[in-house]
Structure 1
Amino acid sequence: MPLVAPTAAAPPLVLAIDLGTSSVRVLAVDALGRAVAGTEAQQRYAIDTSAEGAAETAAPPLFDLLVETIDGSLALLGPQAGEIVAVGFTSFWHGLLGLGADGDPATPVYYWGDTRSAPDAAALRRELDEAATLARTGCRFHSSYWPAKLRWLGRTQPARTAEVARWSGFAEYALGRLCP
């Protein structure tokens, strides 16, 4: 992506947010698709993993880190922050988060790399027609996708899943909090 000096940035601006599996990055992009130099804020974070295949993190600290990184980019942008007219948001794939009736997280964020549901993906393959499911949904039975994760959670953590009113990706949860 080409860079442009803040004084030469063509308004309006877009705030670009990238919530990846190891860091949160935020920067401003001008109307010509150029990154505004000096506006990138990035903060790294670690996913909790285990030998059993866990890959998860608590949602509240991740949300706080996201807000902190957004604030950092806006501070770097200074008065030009008032020229932001849109926000683009991308996030890690296949994250799963259970939300309680109050909208607060009832589970950790389970990442695509969490493989504890691999036996449940195998069970789905035995019980259902994977080719038909793939044709209908575009989704294979795999531990990174929600069907296997939901089955695993229901099987291994029934009390926790009973507290869940709805399932969400982390990005949808974060956007719901940022833009109520």
Structure 2
Amino acid sequence: MTLRALLLSLSVVAGGHAAALTVAGSADGAGPDARIAGFVVSAYGQPIQELVSVPITGGRFSLEIPTTVPPARTQTTLTPRNVTWPGVIDPVTVSAPVQSAELKFFVYRDTNANGHRDETEPMREAPPTSGPASLFVTWVSSDVTVTASKGYSATLVRGWNAFLVEVGRAVAVRPFGDDQVLRVRVGR
């Protein structure tokens, strides 16, 4: 194999990986020892494993979602029957069979200041929003397009993907960019 062919092969492989994803914004009502965390959740939305967390400082946070593959126990095969994402209403189509995992955000008080959640530290789901749209973060094992009624259409690339989903008469799905600031309501 020539050097040029090797470099071309490497650039194609590298191009398949998603870049790191940063989720930043403000958190209303967070206490001094509050942390925001991204948990990989079950197919039913129950938190399984903390993937990333940071302290909320001065009412602000910035999380960098790792590019790592989520644990196998959190992955499910994505089919038209099990897409329970925000804004998805039947009929649903999935362009290819892929593995997927979902990341949800939770806030908890890190009472012992050890930098991660312990079983004794209660947490609350804290979905980030941008205006009327909610942030949705999912991982897929390869490229796939998911479509559903009311205009829902999301094209995902292998790795972690983030979208802002606004549900109304139609469903607007737009890619989330690192420059978009989010808001999380922590108060009860």
TM-score normalised by length of structure 1: 0.28
Higher strand share: 2
Q: Which has the higher helix share?
A: 1
Q: Which has the larger radius of gyration?
A: 1
**TM-score using structure 2 length:** 0.28
